[in-house]
Structure 1
């Protein structure tokens, strides 16, 4: 029964994460969803910046701290290891939902593409970024990344297979295609407002910090295999020399 409950918990966390990611696409791109990055309550610009920085900091701290090995070691004293990843995914979704809900728009325009064809191409580039994000998760292990494989293995009393080092498709050209996809999705917009620019700039800075933390963990996990990969393959830009 406890394994079944853990599976349902993991499945619910996965579904919430999927819905949250779909909303994020609409939120950033200004498509379909009721509240986007450029709509909502108008407040003085100083208040908007403070609130928005706080919301992004909440997500960044949750996302980074809960992903670190020392935290996981402490956290799994209270949360079963089988649902540790699902809990991480759940908290990440809740932090994003809070951001969507409380985000304060800053509608002053930084740039706007008037030509409809060029605007459509820029929007297409943004959606291509989101597609890179999605496909990157499947190239590694989508269901493990979102905690579903862990609860499924626990439910079936099947041991988890240890992670192996591999570099499929995008990973042959850049070490972090998932993050590259986010950067493309955030910056490619036909209308860049000050609020959107703040979001794109801060999240890009957070991504760069997150990469440094993640690569430290990957070197600890894969050792020389990852060091050689790091020497051979660029971090984000495929046409640049490796970092």
Structure 2
């Protein structure tokens, strides 16, 4: 397979993954699933969503392994280990983001809408008092701190960067649908991914 064909294959597969992943994250899809499956889906949907993403990513990783492309650079020691350490810290940030953000993953609350009976307030905690989307930051750090680069990996990372950013916008729309004006106020007070404003403090 030529370098151009392998790069095109990677991009096409990532586009298919992005389409399926975004569909499963959308509120219309979740409403349809809730209508079909009922309350049985409530505790399982986030796990199924994450597991399906891992299953769909596996072939993409294998394609990169088969067709890495031309080597562009390899970072020497000790800098490569500093970059790997940064990736590990970014991974820990993702774990902390899951722990601190039940508001992002409770499907029944997402479907209620702002102000609905049985809903919950936003109440940002932990890392969400510094940034709105730690997954965006950790994703950028994990991919761009890779201590080596090839042509196909570079193409893939550029596409993933775009997808992560667009995915963050999608999450923001969903959270606006869930929390309404409360989330708009949060957006004004807390940056998306770079904590340049400092820690969120209670209003009033």
CA contact (8 A) 2:18 2:163 kept: yes
How well do the aligned residues superpose, as a CA RMSD in angstroms? Answer: 2.6
Q: 2:188 aligns with which of 216, 226, 231?
A: 231
Query: Does the C-alpha gap of structure 1 residues 146 and 73 become closer, same or farther in structure 2, counting only changes over 3 Å?
Result: closer
| Residue number in structure 2 paired with 1:82 | 40
1:177 equivalenced with 2:134 (yes/no):
yes
Q: Which shows bigger deviation, 98-107 or 133-142?
A: 98-107
Q: Structure 2: which 5+ residue stretches go unaligned?
A: 108-117, 199-204
Counterpart CA distance in 1 for 2:36 and 2:24 is: 14
Q: TM-score, normalised by structure 1?
A: 0.67
Q: How many residues align?
A: 184
Q: 1:194 aligns with which of 144, 151, 159?
A: 151
CA contact (8 A) 2:96 2:127 kept: no
Q: 1:120 aligns with which of 81, 85, 88?
A: 81
| Residue number in structure 1 paired with 2:112 | none
Instruction: Measure how far apart 1:68 and its partner are.
Output: 1.0
| Residue number in structure 1 paired with 2:175 | 218
Instruction: Measure how far apart 1:162 and its partner are.
Output: 4.5
Instruction: Measure how far apart 1:121 and its partner are.
Output: 0.5
Instruction: Measure how far apart 1:49 and its partner are.
Output: 1.1
Instruction: Measure how far apart 1:223 and its partner are.
Output: 1.3
| Residue number in structure 2 paired with 1:106 | 68
DSSP-derived class of the 2:78 partner: helix
CA contact (8 A) 1:58 1:95 kept: no
DSSP-derived class of the 2:157 partner: helix
Counterpart CA distance in 2 for 1:62 and 1:207 is: 14
Q: TM-score, normalised by structure 2?
A: 0.78
| Residue number in structure 2 paired with 1:20 | none
DSSP-derived class of the 1:66 partner: helix
| Residue number in structure 2 paired with 1:24 | none
Query: Does the C-alpha gap of structure 1 residues 108 and 208 become closer, same or farther in structure 2, counting only changes over 3 Å?
Result: same
Q: Structure 1: which 5+ residue stretches go unaligned?
A: 1-42, 148-160
| Residue number in structure 2 paired with 1:138 | 99
Query: Does the C-alpha gap of structure 1 residues 58 and 79 become closer, same or farther in structure 2, counting only changes over 3 Å?
Result: farther
Q: Which has the higher contact order (CA 8 A, sep 6+)?
A: 2
CA contact (8 A) 1:174 1:236 kept: yes
Instruction: Measure how far apart 1:175 and its partner are.
Output: 0.7
DSSP-derived class of the 1:192 partner: strand
Instruction: Measure how far apart 1:81 and its partner are.
Output: 4.2
